[in-house]
Amino acid sequence: MAENNATLTIGDTSYDLPIMKGNEGPDVLDIRKLYGASDHFTFDPGFTSTASCESALTFIDGDEGILLHRGYSIEELSEKSSFMEVSYLLLNGELPSKTQLVEFSQTISRHTMLHEQLATFYRGFRRDAHPMAIMCGVVGALSAFYHDSTDISDPTHRMISSHRLIAKMPTIAAMAYKYSIGQPFLYPDNSLSYTGNFLRMTFGVPAEPYVVNPVIERAMDRIFILHADHEQNASTSTVRLAGSSGANPFACIAAGIACLWGPAHGGANEAALNMLREIGTPDKIPHYIERAKDKNDPFRLMGFGHRVYKNYDPRASVMQKTVREVLSELKVNDPIFDVALQLEDMALNDPYFIEKKLFPNVDFYSGIILSAIGFPTEMFTVLFALSRTVGWVAQWNEMISDPGQKIGRPRQLYTGPKHRPYPGFDER
């Protein structure tokens, strides 16, 4: 809602720009009518100063290190809630009653199986394919199997496809893993929790019963909560942009997965653990810190820095606590954890990182936990995609249900040649 105006003066002409106020965070200058009233665009590559939409889902205060979903802090949610409950909250706006939570969990569990023919789809991939490549392909292909829920103008279709995506992602992720190691796929077991079922489909084998370790189940569930949504990040913006054209939800989420894969985004958890392993021992840390500071060296501290957080990422603190719990439960003494702690300490006391406000982000510690649980590094980003799916579908639903929603269509500052005549070959 606009309460005030800002004035923009270009040459002799002034333009009133309404100032919009959210419930938290900076005010926003509404420039929607600027082009038309003037012949100017605004320029913001990387969207460092642009609010691309209104959203009631997630709030981040990057300076204070605050992350809220529907008003609830990530610390409280990861301590007191469950991934199913957070999923309900993100999709519906409020925490569920006990009955609503049971109903919601049952609804999700009814969609955990994949169309049987999708198993043959997996077999078209090479065994050494990256599981993110498989996940991208399989999720994109879901629209070919579930066309009964792709009418995006129908809220029931939208909700069914959202439930399907949340429910099927663990099955898809576990199958990608099983395929890569040559083990048979396991069907879902709906007597288990969302997370317990995922652990069983990933680490169980048909020959033996699989017993879910409750400490690992809880840690995994917390990791899912920590990744559930994060405002208008690159992959979420990709989902919204894809969805703004009216594309079906399966195609939109496949686009989000493709974007998440990059090492500056979801791929950073894999890159962070690889980096910690490359560092190997605490005595090598100073060398890597120097490399990260060297402008002529492309090396960066992976799992460090964030576009929005200029303070400790609150998810990283929860993650650090969870590492201790998991390592102690599994009686793993991973020297890489010590390297990570010392690297964090050294970086946080280095003027370069202090000045640029670079802190550990969610990806810095997650790899150590996932590796201790038994996931290979290639699966890390897959787990991120699995958890982020609820955020993507919640954001997509929010966008599509807005009656004023328009196709996303940015403009540009053109720097190519001006109009020129087409030359024949003898003139080139």
Residues contributing to the site for ligand CMC (CB under 6 A): 233, 264-266, 268, 292, 300-307, 356, 358, 361-363
Q: Provide the greatest CA pair distance for the chain.
A: 80
Structure tokens, 410: 């940015």
Q: Which of 338, 363, 419, 426 is catalytic?
A: 363
How far lies 266's CA from each of 208, 258, 261, 275, 362, in Å? 33, 10, 6, 15, 10
Closest to 270 in 3D by CA, of 130, 71, 172: 130
Collect all residues with Cβ–Cβ distance below 8 Å to 38 and sequence separation of at least 6: 10, 13, 15
**Half-sphere exposure (Cβ direction) of 349: Cα atoms closer than 13 Å:** 7
Least CB distance to ligand CMC at residue 363 (A): 5
Least CB distance to ligand CMC at residue 154 (A): 32
Nearer to ligand CMC, 20 or 346 (CB): 346
Least CB distance to ligand CMC at residue 364 (A): 7
304 neighbors 353 (Cβ within 8 angstroms): yes
Nearer to ligand CMC, 122 or 380 (CB): 380
Residue 345 a catalytic site member: no
Closest to 323 in 3D by CA, of 231, 391, 226: 226
Least CB distance to ligand CMC at residue 42 (A): 19
Rounded Cα distance between 257 and 234, Å, is: 10
Residue 306 a catalytic site member: yes
86 neighbors 390 (Cβ within 8 angstroms): yes
**Which residue has the closest beta carbon to ligand CMC?**
305
Nearer to ligand CMC, 197 or 381 (CB): 381
Least CB distance to ligand CMC at residue 54 (A): 21
| Partners of 28 in beta bridges | 20
Residue 360 DSSP one-character state: B
What's the CA dihedral at 372, 376, 382, 388 to 10 degrees?
10
Nearer to ligand CMC, 114 or 254 (CB): 254
Least CB distance to ligand CMC at residue 358 (A): 5
Closest to 232 in 3D by CA, of 47, 36, 407: 47
372 neighbors 334 (Cβ within 8 angstroms): yes
Rounded Cα distance between 329 and 345, Å, is: 25
Least CB distance to ligand CMC at residue 365 (A): 12
Tell me how long the chain is: 428
Nearer to ligand CMC, 22 or 62 (CB): 62
- Taking CA 374 as the corner, what is the angle to CA 369 and CA 375, rounded to the nearest 5 degrees? 80
Q: Which of 111, 230, 306, 313 is catalytic?
A: 306
66 neighbors 59 (Cβ within 8 angstroms): yes
Please name the amino acid found at residue 354.
I
Least CB distance to ligand CMC at residue 78 (A): 16
Nearer to ligand CMC, 304 or 396 (CB): 304
Nearer to ligand CMC, 96 or 303 (CB): 303
Collect all residues with Cβ–Cβ distance below 8 Å to 393 and sequence separation of at least 6: 91, 161, 162, 165, 166, 249, 253
Give residue for tokens 């150590």: 368
Whole-angstrom distance between the N-terminal and C-terminal Cα of the chain? 56
- Just list the catalytic residues: 306, 363
